[in-house]
Copies of this chain bind each other. A is one copy, B any other.
């Protein structure tokens, strides 16, 4: 498609990356729909500013291969690769307790695919809980913009079902039955500490 401006100039937009190029079985895109991450970051900033909790997103893990040190200016990373995270994305402290969670989003309307999680993330959350920390996931259904707070214990039940040959996803009905609905707000945008408070304190 070429746009012709009134002054006669032409403008051909660069096509956006076609989402259909993604492998079909890869239905959720952690960190690609930035909205969920941005909403959680804004929520964490709100909680921090209100003195309610200290919870931060961890930086994206990157394997740095080559760095240039130009004279008189900042070091430039010239070659690096994304690494798979060995833990979850968010952690911090609320009322003295260790908080640890992951946020995931799906475009599917009727279920949440468990392939959104990696073994080591599940293991990490299991270890966190075994040490008395609070682990959970925030799940967003992007079609309807519905958010759910799923405690790790419930997630782990579904994970074990899959590992024992059962279904590879959590149906929406199952999810609503064992999670807390998170109403979207303004301040904070995603009031997940309300769910933490009602479930663990």
A interface, CB within 8 angstroms of B: 17, 48, 51, 53-54, 56, 58-62, 64, 69, 74-83, 85-87, 91-100, 124, 127-128, 130-133
- Return the contact of A82 from the options B74, B91, B97 (Cβ within 8 A): B74
18 contacts between A and B (CB under 8 A): A51-B127, A53-B131, A54-B127, A56-B87, A59-B59, A59-B61, A59-B62, A60-B64, A62-B62, A74-B82, A75-B81, A75-B82, A76-B79, A77-B80, A80-B80, A91-B91, A96-B131, A98-B99
CB <8 Å contact, B128 and A93: yes
Quick one: copies of this chain in the complex?
Answer: 2
CA distance A88 to B124 in the complex (A): 20
CB <8 Å contact, B78 and A78: yes
Query: Known: A75-B81, A76-B79, A79-B76. Contact between A94 and B60, CB under 8 A?
Result: no
Output the least CB separation between A96 and chain B (Å). 3
CB <8 Å contact, B98 and A92: yes
CA distance A87 to B78 in the complex (A): 25
CB <8 Å contact, A132 and B95: yes
CB <8 Å contact, B59 and A128: no
Cβ-closest chain B residue relative to A53: B131
Residues of B within 8 A of A74 (CB): 81-82
Cβ-closest chain B residue relative to A96: B132
CB <8 Å contact, A80 and B62: yes
Q: A17-B69, A54-B124, A77-B80 are in contact. List 5 more A-B contacts (CB 8 A).
A: A54-B131, A58-B59, A80-B80, A93-B132, A96-B131
Cβ-closest chain B residue relative to A98: B93
CA distance A159 to B64 in the complex (A): 33
CB <8 Å contact, B79 and A78: yes
Cβ-closest chain B residue relative to A85: B59
Residues of B within 8 A of A53 (CB): 131
